[in-house]
């Protein structure tokens, strides 16, 4: 989820700012109408859609179109700054940790109360609004219901069901539902925007199952392809209890490694920056006063830990989604062998067929259930090691 196309760089192609929104003609039409016609505009929007469908990209394009005097031509100063994330009147909240807390939400309310300084709207974009805690959601309720006349909220939530967002928030927003972009549209944008080789782009788009950011990651990063391969090799390797336990170790270890790698790069620099601003290690008068900043460091450590947990969890979650996809393919092949239905992992067709032969439709369905149960368990804070071990044991192939 974190690798969603969040930073649409580059200039706009035909279609102005809307060119970034991949495979969503209905949504684009609706948003364009809102920009063009004040009567079709409203004060709060909720973008929902499956992971990777480009919710935040759509929200940002919408923000750009709102700020642009020409309704989003993609070339003017306003469009460029919004798309680059530097426009003064577009505030973006990206939760790095596990949730958006009440403190952040209050700050959000304060910002939303300002009048636009140069643009036409004061736009507040909240990515992953489903991560707002109940308290945080309650804190922004009043503001979302009746914001100042030139303020507009754009909330994003990774879900097919708007129900995942608290009903109190949802009822105050206009819901925009994005669909999974078609594979060729994703491949097309990879070729056009990122200059990926067409054959690789087609493969990546199909392997990512309509997840734009994931497809780009797979197309550009060799190690991402290796990780995916390791995950998809798991189902056929589960022939004994020892193999199950090893596979669980590998999955959890890979997630931890990714989290460690990502956070190691960030944590050190952040900690140094805070220490420097507190004057740690400095000499001279005022050093004693600086040592009182230990609370800030502790606070930072807490945030970093929360972020590390989230990165690890997201990485594990991606692996689980890939696994579920492979079992889904096996289910499709077992239930409808003659028909050529699209597969989640077309490049692993042979594996899916082998799985279908060994576990049948019912077995595949049970294993999909097990994967989904494991995702739920991880959300419920079960130790990853314990949850994944239970999963791989449940996935074990019959003798």
Partner 1 sequence: MAAAPPAPTSRLRAVVGEEELLRSRAVAAVRAAVLERHPQAELHELTALGLPVGQLADVLAPSLFGEHRLVVVAGVQEAAGALVDALTAYCADPDPDLTLVVVHHGGKRNEALLKTLTAAGAAVDECPKISSAGDRAAFVRNEVRAAGGRITPDAVGALVDAVGGDLRALSSAATQLVADVGGTVDADAVARFHRGQAEVSGFTVAERVLVGDRQGSIEMLRWALERGVAHVLVADAIADGIRTAARVTSLNTSNTGELARALKLPPWKVKKAQTQARGWSIDGLQQAIGVAAELNADVKGVAASADYALERAIRRIVDIRATTGRDSRARSRY
DSSP secondary structure, 133-186, as one string: -HHHHHHHHHHHHS--TTEEEEEEEEBS-GGGS-HHHHTTSEEEE--PPPHHHH
Enter the tokens of residue 264.
């190691």
Stretch that binds partner 1, among 20-28, 140-148, 317-325, 391-399 (CB under 8 A): 391-399
- Check binding of 234 to partner 1 (CB under 8 A): no
Tell me which residue has tokens 């997201």: 314
- Check binding of 179 to partner 1 (CB under 8 A): no
Rounded alpha-carbon distances, angstroms, from residue 89 to 109, 199, 359: 14, 41, 55
The number of residues that bind partner 1 (CB under 8 A) is 18
Angle at 265 between CA 260 and CA 269, to 5 degrees: 130
- Check binding of 240 to partner 1 (CB under 8 A): yes
- Check binding of 386 to partner 1 (CB under 8 A): yes
| CB-based contact 68:76 (threshold 8 Å) | yes
Stretch that binds partner 1, among 164-172, 203-211, 344-352, 387-395 (CB under 8 A): 387-395
- Check binding of 239 to partner 1 (CB under 8 A): no
Report d(CA 192, CA 135) in Å as an integer: 43
- Check binding of 396 to partner 1 (CB under 8 A): yes
- Check binding of 371 to partner 1 (CB under 8 A): no
Enter the tokens of residue 178.
């994005």
Q: Which is nearer to partner 1, 28 or 238 (CB)?
A: 238
Rounded alpha-carbon distances, angstroms, from residue 115 to 64, 68, 118: 17, 17, 9
Nearest distance from C-beta of residue 397 to partner 1, angstroms: 13
Nearest distance from C-beta of residue 159 to partner 1, angstroms: 21
Which phi and psi (to 5°) does residue 21 adopt?
A: -85, 110
- Check binding of 242 to partner 1 (CB under 8 A): yes
Among 76, 245, 266, 290, binds partner 1 (CB under 8 A): 245
- Check binding of 377 to partner 1 (CB under 8 A): yes
| CB-based contact 341:206 (threshold 8 Å) | no
- Check binding of 380 to partner 1 (CB under 8 A): yes
- Check binding of 257 to partner 1 (CB under 8 A): no
Element (H, E) at 44: strand 44-49
Binding string, 323-362, against partner 1, x = CB under 8 A? ----------------------------------------
The strands making up 122-126's β-sheet, listed across from edge to edge, are: 90-93, 122-126, 151-158, 44-49, 174-177
Q: Which is nearer to partner 1, 241 or 276 (CB)?
A: 241
Measured from the Cβ of residue 215, the count of other Cβ atoms closer than 10 Å reads: 31
- Check binding of 368 to partner 1 (CB under 8 A): no
Q: Which is nearer to partner 1, 142 or 383 (CB)?
A: 383
Report d(CA 9, CA 20) in Å as an integer: 9
Q: Which is nearer to partner 1, 186 or 374 (CB)?
A: 374
Q: Which is nearer to partner 1, 243 or 361 (CB)?
A: 243
- Check binding of 390 to partner 1 (CB under 8 A): yes
- Binding site residues, partner 1, CB under 8 A: 240-242, 244-245, 377, 380-383, 385-387, 389-390, 393-394, 396
């Amino acid at each position: 989820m974190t690798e969603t196309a969040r930073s649409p760089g580059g200039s706009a192609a035909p279609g102005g700012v809307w060119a970034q929104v991949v495979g969503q003609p209905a949504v684009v039409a609706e948003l364009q109408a809102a920009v063009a016609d004040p009567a079709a505009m409203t004060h709060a929007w909720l973008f929902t859609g499956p992971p990777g469908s480009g919710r935040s990209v759509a929200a940002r394009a919408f923000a750009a179109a709102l700020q642009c005097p020409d309704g989003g031509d993609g070339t003017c100063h306003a469009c460029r700054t919004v798309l680059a994330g530097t426009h003064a009147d577009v505030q973006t909240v990206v939760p790095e940790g596990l949730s958006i807390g009440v403190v952040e939400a209050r700050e959000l309310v304060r910002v939303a109360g300002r009048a636009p300084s140069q643009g036409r709207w004061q736009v507040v974009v909240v990515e992953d609004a489903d991560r707002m805690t109940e308290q945080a959601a309650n804190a922004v309720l009043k503001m979302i219901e009746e914001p100042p006349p030139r303020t507009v909220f754009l909330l994003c939530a990774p879900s097919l069901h708007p129900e995942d967002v608290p009903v109190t928030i949802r009822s105050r927003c206009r819901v925009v539902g994005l669909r999974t972009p078609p594979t060729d549209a994703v491949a097309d944008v990879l070729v056009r925007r990122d200059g990926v080789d067409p054959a690789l782009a087609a493969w990546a788009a199909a392997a990512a199952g309509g997840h734009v950011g994931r497809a780009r990651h797979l197309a550009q990063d060799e190690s991402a392809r290796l990780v995916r391969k390791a995950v998809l090799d798991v189902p056929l390797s589960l022939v004994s209890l020892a193999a199950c336990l090893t596979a669980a170790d590998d999955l959890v270890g890979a997630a931890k490694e990714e989290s460690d790698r990502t956070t190691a790069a960030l944590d050190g620099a952040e900690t140094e920056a805070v220490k420097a601003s507190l004057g740690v290690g400095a000499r001279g008068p005022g050093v004693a006063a600086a040592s009182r900043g230990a609370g800030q460091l502790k606070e930072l450590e807490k945030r970093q830990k929360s972020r590390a947990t989230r990165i690890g969890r997201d990485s594990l979650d991606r692996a689980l989604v890939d696994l579920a996809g492979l079992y889904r393919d096996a289910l499709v092949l077992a239930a409808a062998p003659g028909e050529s239905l699209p597969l989640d992992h077309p490049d692993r067709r042979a594996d899916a067929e082998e799985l279908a032969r060994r576990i049948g439709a019912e077995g595949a369905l049970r294993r999909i259930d097990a994967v989904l149960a494991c995702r739920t368990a991880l959300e419920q804070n079960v130790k990853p090691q314990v949850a994944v071990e239970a999963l791989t044991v449940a996935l074990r192939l019959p003798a």
